[in-house]
Amino acid sequence: MVGNGKGKKPNCQRQKCFLQYRLAFNEFPNATAHAMYVTCAELLNLPLAPKIVADNVIDVVLKVYVLISSRETHNYINAISIVLAELPDTYWSVVYEGLQEVLNLPRMLRWTYRFNVFELLNFRTVRQTMVDKTYAAILAVTHSVFHHMGCFKLVTITKYIKEKLKPCVHTESQLVFLYHVFGPFLQHIEQEKPNAVTGIAILLYEMLEVVDKHDGPTPLEYMDPICDLLYHIKYIHVGNIIKNESEAIIKRLRPVLQKCLRFVTYLNIKDKHNEKPNEIQHTPATNVNNITSCNQFPVTQSFPI
């Protein structure tokens, strides 16, 4: 799959057979489509549970990436994602289970890295430095799988967020990680199913409330980027459709957050809710574009099928 989609000279006998397929296989438009369908058929016929098969396919990137050249990493991720996206949901839903495992990692529950979350989620940064690649790698695979998914598969995101991911979110780093997972695909989801973004937005507000209550009096380190994304969702995607739901949640947040989100529903914040000197936030310089774009991991172009 990696060699067939790049337009390079085949470097193994298996790639040559796809590039020189017979007319008996002319139901496939090209060699790349032939390779994809044959690979999917082989995976479906393995005498193993779908979860085991999908986990081992993803582990090619997550655990064996040290054996892959840095120039080939994106091509492997792209090829793996195309195969998973074409398989039944029992295979590609393993991606959500991988996200669930990452959210429950001890260091995600208590962030002890000297780098902030935005830096460790930047695929280019972690690839060029000797830091933990777990978060950026699973984020890259997830983005690539979502990129190749059809509309009917992509709109199921709301269900998986609510059932599998939302119960795992308790800390600010977990929330920022989930924002990175789904932020770049809000526009695509809205085009396929407009009401789906509304459901996702409500879930994001509910998770923010959980994080706010969990952290207690501790100042939020990424408050500004979080609020920026919520404003982006309001003015670009949902407008005032979820005004009642968001207003009810915002009223239960800490005063500092209420002040930052007061223009979402135009709340009247009293002077007593003004930010206190000891609650001054030290937010790392960032922008909503870091969350709502896939620049962290440039998904290579789809193979022609």
pLDDT at residue 4, rounded to an integer: 52
DSSP state for residue 68 in the 8-state scheme: S
Q: Between residues 171 and 15, which one has the greater pLDDT?
A: 171
pLDDT at residue 289, rounded to an integer: 59
Count helices and strands (H / E) in the chain. Answer: 20, 0
Token pair of 105 as six digits: 């990692």
Angle at 78 between CA 1 and CA 152, to 5 degrees: 105
* CA–CA separation, 101 and 62 (whole Å): 13
pLDDT band per the 50, 70, 90 thresholds, residue 9: very low
Angle at 206 between CA 153 and CA 109, to 5 degrees: 90
Give me the mean pLDDT over the 221-235 stretch: 91
Q: What is the pTM of this model?
A: 0.79
* CA–CA separation, 197 and 187 (whole Å): 9
* CA–CA separation, 209 and 188 (whole Å): 26
Sequence-ordered alpha helix ranges (H) in 72-215: 73-86, 89-92, 94-103, 106-109, 117-120, 123-128, 134-148, 151-154, 157-160, 172-182, 186-192, 194-215
Domain boundaries, the chain: 23-149, 150-268
Chain-wide mean pLDDT for the chain? 80
The length of the chain in residues reads 305
Q: Is the pLDDT of residue 263 over 80?
A: yes
pLDDT band per the 50, 70, 90 thresholds, residue 54: very high
Residue with token string 């195309």: 82
Give me the mean pLDDT over the 36-58 stretch: 90
pLDDT at residue 280, rounded to an integer: 43
Q: Between residues 40 and 69, which one has the greater pLDDT?
A: 40
